[in-house]
Amino acid sequence: MKNKSKILSAPYTVWMVIFILVPVLLVAYFAFTNKSGEFTVENILHVGQYSNVFIRSIWMGAAATIISLIIGYPLAYIISKMKAKTQNVMIMLIMLPMWMNFLLRTYAWMTLLENNGLINRLLGLFGIGPFEMINTSGAVVLGMVYNYLPFMILPLYSIMTKIDNTTLEAARDLGSNSVTTFTRVILPLSMPGVRTGITMVFVPSVSTFIISRMLGGGGNLLIGDLIDLQFLGNAYNPNLGAAISLVLMVLILLCMSVFNQFGDEEEMEGMLL
């Protein structure tokens, strides 16, 4: 029995080794070597000078994640309470933009946000503006929220549909009004979805480079752009790029583990309350 499952899992194991383990090891290798292939920690030390970029990336990623959560949570809850048929339609509508090319969607935002873009022209009709929207950090966060919101909604929605309605009835029966039902039952029961959603929005937001390049102009360089520059740009330095990637990976892991710790505590607290 055990042998059989081993044989069956062999292709996946091979796949994972080739496409996940080996690349990670390669990144680590490049990060700790210089151009001539000698061991060095200089690249890692070098990363320090970009700390402002790291802080900006994490800050923007966090902002996008929080905004996505604020928008996504109520929306997922409302959808989960709809009739089964309406639910399917709503979920499809949420997925629909994802069928379109990522670049195209972000381009569309450019034309909307430009100084003489659609929004400013529309506002101009009422004598308001023009506002400078493109090439701001706000535009980058907006792009992140727009592109990654479905990744927040879907896990929340799927966990919320699993909350048994009789559990909520039981809460009401035991004296909870809608507020306490939410804080003591719905919220703690949907925490796994919140955690998945946050991970799925935060991680790609922090490491994005297209969104910041297209909507952020030159002033909103993110880690993704920085790495991009080291491989494809004129700063060509794959070793430094690898080092930045490695640091980013560690930072994200740290962020997530801190957050998960916090989430667990929250759940524990919910239990004690």
Partner 1 sequence: MSKTVISLKDITVSYDGEQVLKNFNLQIKDGEFVTLLGPSGCGKTTVLRTIGGFVAPETGDVFFSEAKITDIPPHKRELNTIFQKYALFPHLNVFNNVAFGMRIKGKKEREVKEMVTSMLELVNLTGYAHRSVSQLSGGQQQRVAIARALANEPKVLLLDEPLGALDLKLRKDMQVELKKIQQQTGITFIFVTHDQEEALSMSDTVVVMDKGEIQQIGTPTDIYNEPQNAFVADFIGESNILDGVMLEDFKVRFAGHTFDCLDKGFGRNQPVDVVIRPEDIDVISAENSQINGEVTNITFKGVHYEIIVDVAGFKWMIQSTDFQEVGAKIGLSLTPDDIHVMKKSEYSGSFGDYSTFSDEMEEDMILEEEAAESKEAEIEE
Q: Which residues bind partner 1 (CB under 8 A)?
A: 164, 166-167, 169-177, 180, 184-185, 188-189, 267, 270-273
β-strand partners of 33: 39
Q: Which is nearer to partner 1, 180 or 261 (CB)?
A: 180
Q: How far is the CB of 30 from partner 1 (least distance, A)?
A: 45
**207-232: b (≥16 Cβ within 10 Å) or e:** bbbbbbbbbbeeebbbbbbbbbbbee
Cβ 158 to partner 1, closest distance in Å? 16
Cα–Cα distance for residue pair 234/83, rounded to 1 Å: 55
> Among residues 38 and 164, whose Cβ is nearest to partner 1?
164
Least Å distance, CB 77 to partner 1, is: 17
Q: How far is the CB of 191 from partner 1 (least distance, A)?
A: 8
In this complex, which beta carbon is closest to partner 1, that of residue 14 or of residue 170?
170
Cβ closer to partner 1: 51 or 180?
180
Sorted by sequence, the CB contacts under 8 Å of residue 248 that are 6+ apart come out as 54, 57, 206, 207, 223, 227
Spatial distance between the Cα atoms of 90 and 100, rounded to a whole number of angstroms: 17
